[in-house]
């Protein structure tokens, strides 16, 4: 599924009109799709009173279509939040409303409108569309405050919750908080970026009759990972394949007290099908890991007093990275110290095989970030928002407020594939492409989930995938495994190790 910006979406509609699809037809279809969802919820929940908030533009016109259709099944009241409809289509659909639909102007009937909102069983927001910029007026914000305070009502947004900027997801104060958002033709940035996505509730993308070919031939800023995976299936392995054909992964992970991170990434890598896994770990955790996980070949290394890999082991590691593997993973549970920072910088600088850098590997690069540009290796970096903030010398709030641009800019500037983790994980590539992941759930927000993902990406790299394909595919299947675990155990009770087990049946 593509994610398009507002100007592109408007152009798509104009192209559709040039192909003979009338704007009146698009509006009727949009209103019908929202009315279908609303009618279903009305029947299921036995709702009676529906309030539809209509703006003065074409979004308000959608609202009038919805009001007309829903008046056949329940009591409908329309609140016009501004002046008379400004577009011909909106005026036409307002005139088509039956006498059974009450129409009130918010500016003239303030107290009556507030009473209607408070008593409604369903509130539908058709005030602002994808052209909205800035912040709501104090009057409209006041109205939406009463809408959001009605905890009994089902709240539906048409295209987007009013008060959110389409292309940035920016919320300039208060916005309509929807339980459902019905958008048309394609996702928009606000639907996949946070915190705006939190205000959308369940998002449904509906066709309004625009041919798919028009959408796919138009520029878009993001593609969903499921769309990528559907068109890029894993290559079939030949019947005679042996472990050498399936790649060798070197894992430079773990420290005293952090064996679990190394182990989870290793198990995930094995489940993703790598032929051989070599584990370069501090000697103190080797017995723990070997007792639990017999499949890898272990390379116990000398360690410092604090239980981390000693920097003097650099020679062995760089030799393994250049001659003994097809890809490497650095960072899961590696620990943090000055010598680890130096060791990671040296390894990245000397790497030539594909490389995944995660967790403490990322933290180690914060003061040596230019080594990413010097390295000859194709690199995948997998920061969570806190690690991303440390890489940039900023704070988490700034990262989260502009995830798309931050991820894309970093990938372009440093020549890496960046996996910015979190709800709707983003994958940004060195050539400017960005993918958004729509699988996964909040049950994955637990220590260890990132280690699992790092192992999955590294495994696919070792098996010969390019960095873009490995990162996008692993992120998608990681989220899918999380969704299946949530179904089985609940989001609250599921564990990262459950996701590894789910990989057994996922493929």
Q: How far apart are CA 161 and CA 183, in angstroms?
A: 10
User: In the prediction, which pLDDT does 148 show?
Assistant: 98
CATH class belonging to 2-219: alpha beta
Tell me, what's the pLDDT at 61?
98
Tokens of 37: 């969802």
Residue 98's Cβ-count burial label (10 Å; 0-12, 13-18, 19+) is exposed
Q: How far apart are CA 334 and CA 348, in angstroms?
A: 14
Residue ranges for the chain with pLDDT beneath 70: none
Nearest to 23 by CA among 34, 10, 35: 10
Domain ranges of the chain: 2-219, 227-232+245-506
CATH architecture of 227-232+245-506: 3-Layer(aba) Sandwich (3.40)
| Ramachandran angles phi, psi of 302, nearest 5° | -60, 150
pLDDT, position 507: 86
pLDDT score recorded for residue 236: 83
Question: Which string of b and e fits 242-267 if b means at least 16 CB within 10 Å?
Answer: eeeebbbbbbbbbbbebbbbbbbbbb
pLDDT of residue 281: 98
pTM for the model: 0.94
pLDDT at 309: 98
pLDDT tens digits for range 430-488: 999 999 999 999 999 999 999 999 999 999 999 999 999 999 999 999 999 999 999 99
């Amino acid at each position: 599924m593509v994610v398009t910006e507002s100007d592109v979406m408007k152009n798509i509609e104009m192209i559709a009109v040039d192909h003979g699809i009338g704007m009146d037809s698009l509006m009727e279809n949009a209103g019908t799709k929202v009315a279908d969802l609303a009618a279903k919820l009305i029947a299921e929940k036995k709702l009676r009173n529906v309030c539809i908030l209509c703006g003065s533009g074409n979004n308000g016109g959608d609202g009038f279509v919805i009001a007309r259709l829903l008046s056949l099944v329940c009591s409908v009241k329309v609140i016009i939040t501004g002046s008379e409809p400004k577009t011909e289509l909106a005026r036409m659909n307002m005139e088509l409303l039956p006498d059974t639909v009450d129409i009130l102007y918010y500016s003239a009937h303030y107290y009556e409108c507030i009473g209607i909102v408070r008593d409604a069983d369903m509130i539908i927001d058709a005030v602002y569309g994808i052209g909205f910029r800035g912040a709501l007026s104090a009057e409209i914000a006041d109205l939406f405050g009463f809408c959001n305070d009605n905890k009994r009502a089902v709240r539906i947004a048409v295209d987007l919750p009013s008060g959110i900027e389409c292309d940035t997801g920016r919320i300039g104060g208060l916005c309509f908080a929807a339980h459902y958002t019905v958008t048309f033709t394609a996702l928009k940035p606000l639907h996949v970026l946070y915190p705006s996505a939190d205000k959308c509730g369940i998002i449904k993308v509906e066709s309004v009759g625009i041919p798919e070919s028009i959408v796919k031939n138009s520029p878009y800023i993001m593609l969903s990972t499921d769309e990528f995976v559907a068109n890029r299936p894993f290559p079939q392995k030949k019947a005679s394949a042996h472990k050498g054909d399936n790649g060798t992964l070197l894992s430079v992970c773990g420290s005293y007290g952090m064996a679990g991170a190394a182990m989870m990434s290793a198990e995930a890598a094995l489940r993703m099908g790598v032929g051989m896994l070599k584990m370069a770990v501090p000697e103190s955790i080797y017995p723990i890991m070997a007792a639990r996980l017999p499949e890898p070949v272990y390379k116990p290394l000398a360690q410092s007093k604090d239980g981390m890999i000693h920097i003097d082991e650099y020679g062995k590691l760089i030799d393994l990275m250049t001659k003994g593997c097809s890809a490497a993973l650095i960072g899961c549970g590696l620990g943090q110290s000055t010598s680890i920072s130096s060791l990671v910088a040296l390894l990245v600088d000397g790497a030539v095989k594909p490389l995944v850098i995660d967790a403490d590997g990322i933290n180690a690069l914060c003061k040596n970030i230019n080594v990413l540009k010097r390295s000859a290796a194709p690199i995948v970096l997998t920061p969570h928002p806190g690690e991303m903030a440390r890489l940039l010398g900023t704070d988490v709030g700034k990262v989260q407020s502009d995830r798309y641009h931050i991820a894309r800019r970093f990938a372009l500037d440093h020549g890496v594939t960046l996996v910015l983790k979190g709800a709707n994980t983003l994958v940004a590539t060195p050539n400017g492409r960005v993918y958004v992941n729509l699988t996964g759930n909040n049950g994955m927000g637990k220590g260890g989930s990132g280690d699992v993902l790092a192992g999955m990406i590294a495994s696919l790299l070792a098996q010969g995938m390019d960095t873009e394909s490995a990162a996008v595919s692993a992120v998608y299947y990681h989220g899918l495994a999380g969704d299946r675990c949530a179904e089985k155990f609940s989001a609250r009770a599921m564990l990262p190790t459950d996701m590894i087990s789910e990989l057994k049946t996922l493929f």
